[in-house]
Amino acid sequence: MSLRLSGGRRLHSPPGDTARPTPSRVRLAVMNMLQAELAGASWLDLCCGSGVMACEAIQRGADRVVAVDQDRRMAATARTNLQLVAASRRPEPSVRVVQQEVVRWLRAGRAAADLLTTEATATEGFDLIYADPPYAAELYGPLMAAVAEGDWIKPSGTLVLECATARKPELEPGWSLERERHYGSTTLLMLSRG
The per-residue pLDDT for range 149-172, each reduced to its tens digit, is 999 999 999 999 999 999 999 999
pLDDT for residue 119: 45
pLDDT for residue 13: 72
Residue 93 main-chain phi, psi, to 5 deg: -70, 160
Residue % of the chain over a pLDDT of 90? 70
pTM: 0.88
pLDDT for residue 118: 40
pLDDT for residue 126: 96
Average pLDDT, the chain: 86
Tens of pLDDT along 106-150?
A: 998 765 555 444 444 445 799 999 999 988 888 999 999 999 999
Going along the chain from its start, the domains and CATH numbers come out as: 3-193 (3.40.50.150)
Over residues 34-55, the mean pLDDT reads: 94
Instruction: Check residues 121 and 192 and name the one with the higher pLDDT.
Output: 192
pLDDT for residue 135: 82
Res. 2: pLDDT tops 50: yes
Instruction: Check residues 93 and 115 and name the one with the higher pLDDT.
Output: 93
